């Protein structure tokens, strides 16, 4: 992990700088690791950044993922990976990171491109990602994840899966 070391001038505000700036770099590295782990289809790397008690609100039901639900544990993530052929591309668009001490949150519009198992063509889906993070013993982990699309309020109740930023 690379942490900026050259620009040590303290800005006018932000009492925890440069530690907050370093934390932001570390948190963006977690997003990069999640992207790489999807590309590599590596379930162990996909769950590694999360706390053991992370609360996940995922794209698919249930309301809240737990061990035994779709992506609530490493076995669930493996089964989820098996529903796709080939690499899964994740792109976080201009993530916004806010850090206070050992707590942070991030939000970003997110694009997923993947090919359902047995399908000839990939799909592209834009959704919204929010992460809540905690730092323990110097390491940031994801304590909360919220991923979603909006849904149409026209009476169809269809997920809005064709939106773009």
Contact flag: residue 31 with a second copy (CB under 8 A): no
Parallel/antiparallel/unpaired status of strands 50-57 and 103-116? unpaired
Which residues, numbered 85-114, are part of the site for a second copy (CB under 8 A)? 96, 98-105, 107, 109
Contact flag: residue 144 with a second copy (CB under 8 A): yes
Which residue among 3, 10, 16, 123 contacts a second copy (CB under 8 A)? 16
Cα separation values, 72 from 56, 92, 127, 163, Å: 8, 22, 19, 27
CB of 134 to a second copy, least distance (A): 6
The Cα 24–Cα 27 span in angstroms is 5
Which residue among 59, 66, 74, 141 contacts a second copy (CB under 8 A)? 59
Q: Output the six-digit token pair for 73.
A: 């544990």
Which residue among 22, 85, 126, 141 contacts a second copy (CB under 8 A)? 126
Residues in the interface with a second copy (CB under 8 A) total: 44
Q: Edge-to-edge, what's the strand order for the sheet holding 103-116? A: 50-57, 139-148, 123-136, 103-116, 84-100
Q: In the complex with a second copy, which residue's Cβ is closer, 14 or 44? A: 14
Half-sphere exposure of 54 (CA within 13 A, CB side): 25
Contact flag: residue 138 with a second copy (CB under 8 A): no
The Cα 40–Cα 77 span in angstroms is 13
The residues binding a second copy (CB under 8 A) are 16, 55, 57-64, 96, 98-105, 107, 109, 126-128, 130, 132, 134, 143-144, 146, 148-153, 157-161, 163-165
């Amino acid at each position: 992990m690379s942490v900026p070391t050259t620009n040590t001038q303290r800005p006018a505000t932000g009492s925890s700088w440069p530690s907050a700036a370093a934390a932001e770099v570390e948190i963006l590295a977690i997003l990069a690791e999640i992207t790489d782990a999807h590309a590599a289809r590596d379930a162990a790397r996909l769950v590694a950044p999360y706390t053991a008690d992370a609360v996940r609100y995922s794209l698919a039901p249930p309301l809240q993922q737990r061990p035994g639900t779709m992506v609530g544990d490493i076995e669930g993530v493996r089964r989820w990976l098996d529903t796709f052929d080939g690499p899964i591309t994740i792109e976080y668009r201009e993530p916004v990171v806010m850090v206070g001490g050992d707590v942070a949150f991030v939000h970003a519009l997110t694009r997923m491109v993947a090919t359902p198992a047995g399908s000839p063509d990939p799909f592209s889906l834009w959704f919204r990602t929010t992460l809540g993070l905690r730092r323990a013993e110097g390491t940031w982990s994801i304590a909360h994840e919220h991923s979603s699309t909006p849904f149409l309020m026209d009476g169809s109740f269809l997920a809005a899966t064709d939106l773009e930023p």
